[in-house]
Structure formats: C-alpha cells, structure tokens
Amino acid sequence: MGTSERKQREREEREQLFLDAAEQLIEQEGFMQLQMAKLAKACDYATGTLYQHFTSKEDLLMALMARHSALHLELFERIEQWQAPSRQRIFAICVAEQDFNQRQANYVKLSQYVMTEAVWENASETRRSQLLQCGQPICRIVSGIVQQAIDDGDLDPQGASTMELAYGTWALCQGSHTLDHTQGLLEAFSIPRGPMTMYRNMNRLLNGMSWHPLLDLSSTETLQTLVQQIEQQLNIHS
C-alpha cells in the first residue's frame, strides 16, 4: 500500500542524512574520530535510531564507502565514454584515480581501513555484498577497455583472461596508493613523492603486456604531455 512506500522512502532519506552527516564529520575531524552518539545527535536522532540503519559502526563506514564509490564510478564512466585509443584509456584510469585519491585522501584511508579484516568482519553480510556489487560496474568498464584493446589488435592477451590483465593494473594502483598513504614510508626509503613514479610503473606494466602503442619511458616529456592531454580531455581537476 501507498503509506509503506512513503515510509520506505523516508527511511531511505534518513539513511542518506546520516551518511551526509557522517561524511561531514569525517571531513572535519577524520574518520577515526567519528562517534556513533555524536553522529546521531548531529542529526537530531537518538543513538538507537542510527542502529536501525547500520548494524555497527563498521557497517556504517562500509555504507559510506559504498556510497562514495558512486563518485568513483562516475570517473570511470567518463572514461568509458571517451573515444580514444585503448592504451590511452586504460592509462587514463590511472591518472583519474590518482587525482581523485589525491583530493579525497580521507577516503583512501577509509577504504584501506574498511578492507581490513577488523572492519570487514564486523559489517553485515548485506553491506559487504553491497560494497562488492559497487565494484562490478567498474570492473566491467576496465574489462571493456581491455577487450577493446584486444579487438583493436592493440593487445595480444597471450592466453590471459581480460580479468587477469585488468587485475594487474588494479593491483598496481592499489599497492601504489597503499604505500603512498602509509605515513613516513616514502620518506624512509627516499622515494620521491608524486604521481610520476606510479605513472611510469603503470606504463611499464602496460608495455609489458605489449599493449600498443608502447610508450617510450626514456623521456619525461612524452609522459608528462600524455598526462596533461588526458587531464584536459577528461576535464580532470574539475
């Protein structure tokens, strides 16, 4: 009946309200400082009400992550639409992500935290699969680019599945961001901070997949121009 639909909608709205407020609080004082009671009060609800939406604090963090990944997806969709050689498109993902993560450092940390057993295991099963679902379209887009490369004859998979190749780029991105965001690590090993290191390594990986056209890494210029081109065309930094 009609009333229950409205209720459902109101419930959904309240959930978004909680998430909005959580986002704001995290913005202000970092996600470690987030407190359930404080959050509830900030929304003029009782603590218990918060627990009608999220089974635990971890569940809430994960919900936040899931919602946030919609923004992330948007990025990928922009690249999906972009008409360009596959090699540029796959690299564009890396560039877009780098920029995205740069600006949402809190979220990189949060996602790192959420993927931890400590958090993962304390969220509801529903939430976990929701979050995994969020990855699906992204996965589809990346696979699509790999597939395009194969179809265009730019990439010979040599027996590897499209997923395997996509996984490689993913792992490299993931690992780079993790290392990047670990306090003091780059400094301890005197690795220059900044995206270029990761860009170069990504292109090495792509070259190693024989993903044409290969990029010449001996010139800093070439890569920098490429990055700028991508940033402009995709309207990154917007």
Binding site for DNA (CB under 7 A): 1, 3, 7, 14, 34-37, 44-49, 51-52, 55-58, 122
CB of 131 to DNA, least distance (A): 17
Which of its own copies, DNA, none lies near 113, with the C-beta cut-off 5 to 8 A by kind?
A: its own copies
Which of DNA, its own copies, none lies near 34, with the C-beta cut-off 5 to 8 A by kind?
A: DNA
Written as one letter, the residue type at 40 is A
Nearest to DNA of 6, 140 (CB atom): 6
Which of its own copies, DNA, none lies near 37, with the C-beta cut-off 5 to 8 A by kind?
A: DNA
Binding mask 132-161 for its own copies (x = CB under 8 A): xx-xx--x------------------xxx-
Q: Report d(CA 232, CA 33) in Å as an integer.
A: 37
CB of 173 to its own copies, least distance (A): 7
Q: Please report how many Cα atoms fall inside a 13 Å half-sphere around the Cα of residue 163, on the Cβ side.
A: 3
What is the footprint of its own copies within residues 2-41 (CB under 8 A)? Answer: 30-32
Q: What separation in angstroms does the CA of 39 have from each of 6, 45, 138?
A: 25, 9, 31
Task: Kindly state whether residue 213 participates in binding its own copies, applying the rule CB under 8 A.
Answer: no
Q: What separation in angstroms does the CA of 218 have from each of 74, 78, 155, 222, 228?
A: 33, 30, 22, 9, 18
Q: Containing H/E element for 124?
A: none
Size of the site for its own copies (CB under 8 A): 60
Cα of first residue to Cα of last residue in the chain, in angstroms, is 44
* DSSP H helices in 82-155: 86-103, 105-114, 117-120, 125-151
Q: Report d(CA 12, CA 154) in Å as an integer.
A: 45
Interface residues toward its own copies, by CB under 8 A: 30-32, 109, 112-113, 115-118, 120-121, 128-129, 132-133, 135-136, 139, 158-160, 163-165, 167-168, 170-176, 178-179, 181-185, 188-192, 197-198, 200-201, 203-209, 217-218, 220
